[in-house]
Amino acid sequence: MQQSEYDAVVVGSGPNGLAAAIAMQQAGLSVLLVEGKETIGGGLRSAELTLPGFVHDICSAIHPTAVISPFFSSLPLAQHGLQFIYPEVAAAHPFDDGSAAVLKKSIQETAQLLGSDEQTYLQLLQPLVKDLPQLAPDILGPLRFPKHPLVMARFGLNALTSATFLAKRFHTQKARGLWAGMAAHAIQPLSNLTTSAIGLVLLAAGHAQGWPVPVGGSVAIAKALAAYFVSLGGKIETNFYVQKLNQLPPSRAVLLDVTPKQLLDIAGDQFSALYKWQLQHYQYGMGVFKIDWALDGAIPFTAAECRQAGTVHLGGTFEQIAAGEKATAAGQHVQQPYVLLAQQSLFDTSRAPQGKQVAWAYCHVPNGSQQDMTDIIENQVERYAPGFKKLIIGRHTMHTAQMQAYNPNYIGGDINGGIQNIQQLYTRPALRWSPYKTSARGVYICSSSTPPGGGVHGMCGFHAAKRALRDVFDIKL
């Protein structure tokens, strides 16, 4: 029998691959992390995409789940160079009349601006913000009996509903619009069950911690995680693109930060017929069309609150956003889509030359779409910020095929590793006792295609590592 060169090998250096590698190394194992590209990071990369001196986040940009992640919060990442900046306004949602709803750290300030919906908002969010520290380990993990069942039940009563259903509790344009912008992060029709979950978590995270911008770009998170992993004795190899398992050095466990499509390509010949069938029927969701801009100045939003926000949700009323998401999921391209926009350089001056700015935005499109949405997105920004287009001095765009070419996990432009609907919320990527364990001995999946799904929190990787440690090494975390 060939002697193992490493105890474990992790394939892919996104936040989940890095988390899995760290958890295994923390347990005293020897771990190799391999990455197909020249640099580590997966969705955590930043680069000068437009003009020299303008640093853009290629994929993820704002990180509310990173700071509520039980695993990331336990790591000494600040000692490895990670700094977060918290905008006073975490997110803003403008309307055509020039007003805007806002998400601030203070739940009272946020609620007071919602008029007659103030008490409804407080009743909905105050208990959730209070419960978030107890909830986080359960909502950011696999389906299991919760550590705090009553707290989880209280959350589940609202979280399992559709965003459309929960919106009925609000009556003002501001509250309903703010809610739509949050729930639309689910990247599916707002009438789907469980779409309330992501909206509630994002609101609660904003009040509990904020929506931070990493100094220097999202790549700073990946660099800090990698530096900590190496400080523990872990090894990283880049330019190591894995097409088959036999390319890897011998090890007792392999954890793959990939989605079902790549998992089948890499290891499908080792899987049972049932497991292969489940992976083949895994569902991917809507894709995204993304734009990065180099700007001659700050975006001139009509609503002053938007000029102070790290994130801006564009799309108008609840009804407009809900209709757009439904049409997009049905394969249509809408003329006034929901646009998620970030303006990192307002807070992190390292992102752009003095007096200049960067901005980042995407809209949802049908999976696999290659339609150019540049004009449509820029018209949507101009709708709330007249004069925006005149400030553009550089532009970089990516349609869904280009997103997938850049990161193979973004199948058809799906940045969540598969649709997070009721059917796949806890059974991603397959219905098994442990979603992280494949049917092949010693082979695990640790990507966002496992619970709890998309987002920069590392919890998919942590839970996959926890499973592998128990199964293969008889180590319990």
Q: What is the CATH number of the domain that holds 62?
A: 3.50.50.60
Beta pairing partners, 386: none
d(CA 265, CA 360) in angstroms, rounded, equals: 33
Q: Which residues contact 246 (CB under 8 A, 6 or more apart)?
A: none
The Cα-based distances of 353 to 53, 54, 345 in angstroms read: 6, 7, 10
Q: Residue 40: inside a domain, yes or no?
A: yes
Tell me: do 201 and 307 sit in the same domain: yes
pLDDT value, residue 143 = 86
Tell me: do 226 and 323 sit in the same domain: no
pLDDT value, residue 418 = 97
Tell me: do 165 and 190 sit in the same domain: yes
Domain boundary among 406, 438, 460: 406
d(CA 26, CA 28) in angstroms, rounded, equals: 5
Tell me: do 200 and 130 sit in the same domain: yes
Tell me: do 311 and 399 sit in the same domain: yes
* Number of domain units in the chain: 2
pLDDT value, residue 3 = 56
Domain range enclosing 142: 86-212+286-406
Q: Residue 419: inside a domain, yes or no?
A: yes
Chain-centroid distance, C-alpha 231: 26
- Coil/strand/helix, residue 164: helix
pLDDT value, residue 1 = 33
Q: Residue 468: inside a domain, yes or no?
A: yes
Tell me: do 301 and 185 sit in the same domain: yes
Residue type, 367: N
Q: Which two tokens stand for residue 279?
A: 């992976």
- Coil/strand/helix, residue 128: helix
Residue type, 137: P
Q: Residue 290: inside a domain, yes or no?
A: yes
Whole-prediction pTM: 0.96
Q: Which residue has the tokens 């550590």?
A: 147
Q: Helix H segments across 149-289?
A: 149-159, 163-167, 173-183, 195-208, 219-231, 260-267, 273-280
Q: Residue 132: inside a domain, yes or no?
A: yes
Tell me: do 173 and 301 sit in the same domain: yes
d(CA 111, CA 106) in angstroms, rounded, equals: 9
Q: Helix H segments across 362-458?
A: 374-384, 400-406
pLDDT value, residue 425 = 84
d(CA 120, CA 97) in angstroms, rounded, equals: 24
The Cα-based distances of 219 to 47, 215, 306 in angstroms read: 9, 9, 25
Q: Which of 477, 471, 369 is nearest to 8 (CA)?
A: 471
Q: DSSP state, 94?
A: E
Tell me: do 376 and 417 sit in the same domain: no
Tell me: do 94 and 201 sit in the same domain: yes
Tell me: do 397 and 429 sit in the same domain: no
Residues with pLDDT less than 70, the chain: 1-4
Q: DSSP state, 392?
A: E
> Exposure pattern of 378-391 as b/e (b: 16+ CB <10 Å)?
bebbbbbbeebeeb
Q: What is the CATH number of the domain that holds 111?
A: 3.90.660
Tell me: do 299 and 362 sit in the same domain: yes
Q: Which of 261, 236, 256, 286 is nearest to 446 (CA)?
A: 256
d(CA 197, CA 8) in angstroms, rounded, equals: 34
Q: Which two tokens stand for residue 370?
A: 């290659």
Q: Residue 276: inside a domain, yes or no?
A: yes
Domain boundary among 406, 431, 446: 406
Q: Residue 397: inside a domain, yes or no?
A: yes
Q: Which two tokens stand for residue 263?
A: 């998992």
Q: Residue 1: inside a domain, yes or no?
A: no
Tell me: do 12 and 62 sit in the same domain: yes
Domain boundary among 383, 406, 429: 406
